[in-house]
Chains A and B, each alone.
Chain A
């Protein structure tokens, strides 16, 4: 009985952590779907988003929702700027060159952040009252509920944008066949830029939510969640939007279970172990179809 209680408690924690991973993973998956690039700097965009949210609340005194929007806009613009400056000139370069550039951008954001924001962790202002609800033996924090609600709302908006709007249709077309999309009169560069903007905005939202939940942000906070969100994207099938959402939640739950039942030091190892297992046995991910490589 006690085992079952702990299991459900860890599931609750895992789902709220997992929805953060899902938000970051969406950016990875959208960018990969369109230009086949693992944007290593994506985790650092999440850090930038957290800092933008921090300055919006602590220095400008904004409440939660406007701060969230400000941070999403700032990170979206930075994401588009990075794409314009660093990735667009390399559109036809070998993949490894783009990957190394992405690593370079990631290091630049991390250590540039250390220089600009100082390496000391900052305490995120308490913009949302934290209330703890006891439902029988289970403990749910109001912030966990807010994380879940905000993530679900953002994912619904994203799904609407991708499925129902013109720009979403163009994104799907570019992801399906870039050359054909270009021939149909779609401005591919603009669509790629928009994809980076949307993905970065989602990562920024995740950054603000984490800032509120854990109360502490620092310039290197993006490394691990960034890598894990990538694992989540691969788990769900990279390039597939519902896959990223599901992958994020599954990863969050597995991590919560590992830290609850085995040891929290193995939490990070669990994520990478999942990555390697999934890459070896089903590289197309849980939601992916196998594509045969053509010579």
Chain B
């Protein structure tokens, strides 16, 4: 199986065109700074929700601590740029490695738990990460890590997001991805088929955490500051809403969820309390009437309208 198919190239081409259009609109100031902020937030949210989807949707391990890994990525990358004055790309990579390593260390013991227990344990770990950061004076403690240069712009956010999407898409379509899906469908059956379930759970968790770190690095280098109060479990719930809304186990679903909810929260920016009420009602109604989310576990690109763009490569 080739790593890059014809279909991938076409989608990549379409993405570059999309990028060129938006960048041109940004350069000509047709898109103002408020919407530029939201475009960058959409990219960051897509990275977060797709990586969370890898853990929650594809592998079926219910994690509620994703914001904690984002915090690690934000702080580690900020240390690289602020304290060591190294380039941004290196900061993103080190941030991803840092949160990935932490994800590995945390995942190894906790992924033995399942269902509700795992949810609560990851929620607790996310909070522990935040409280530990709060108590490290080297990174600013409770007042936050200030003076981070703004390196993130639309170009960075867009291409890092694109890279994440391709990485996770290829991972999911590989034999590793199929192992993860088999764990979601039936862990005992997967084990009986000879799949090392712990190994694949930890792999999915580590990669998900690493990409959360990437998103954190972009986030910190856009807002000049990394603050422990930004990374509470409310943030994890935000991303959970995006993933659940789009459909657990659908990458295009997560993209749609991230785009829709970022627009909703931008539109409700003047009424912040309504934003969470809308989120919560969306969650409840989805679970009552469409528990599989907008797209279920189907990809938008596999619908019949897109079939004719496939170019016969399967």
Contacts and interface: CB of A to CB of B under 8 A. Distances in A.
A265 B136 CA distance: 12
Contacts of B112: 280
Interface string A265-287: 11011011101100110010000
B134 interface: yes
Interface in B219-240: 237, 240
Contact of B240 (A103, A231, A234): A103
A268 to B, nearest CB: 6
A198 interface: no
Interface string B123-163: 11101100110110000000000000000000000000000
Contact of A38 (B116, B127, B276, B281): B116
Residue from A108, A110, A266, A295 having most chain B Cβ neighbours under 10 A: A108
Given A99-B62, A100-B240, A269-B131, A107 B116 contact: no
B87 interface: no
Contact of B284 (A105, A234, A268): A105
Contact of A107 (B131, B283, B286): B283
A114 interface: yes
A104 interface: yes
B303 interface: no
A108 B273 contact: no
B62 A104 contact: no
A96 B62 contact: yes
Contacts, number: 112
A37 to B, nearest CB: 8
Contacts of A103: 237, 240, 283
A114 B115 contact: no
A203 to B, nearest CB: 18
B287 A295 contact: no
Contact of B113 (A98, A263, A283, A295): A283
Query: Chain B interface residue count: which class?
Result: 35 or more
Nearest to B284: A104
B265 interface: no
Nearest to A224: B127
Contacts of A265: 131, 134-135
B307 to A, nearest CB: 30
A105 B62 contact: no
A108 B284 contact: yes
26 contacts: A94-B291, A96-B115, A98-B287, A99-B62, A99-B119, A100-B244, A100-B283, A100-B286, A100-B287, A101-B283, A101-B288, A104-B279, A107-B280, A107-B283, A111-B277, A227-B120, A231-B124, A234-B120, A263-B135, A268-B127, A269-B127, A269-B131, A272-B125, A276-B125, A280-B112, A280-B113
Given A104-B282, A268-B131, 20 more contacts: A38-B116, A86-B284, A90-B288, A93-B287, A95-B116, A97-B291, A98-B287, A100-B286, A101-B283, A101-B288, A103-B237, A104-B279, A107-B276, A107-B279, A111-B273, A114-B273, A227-B124, A275-B120, A280-B112, A283-B113
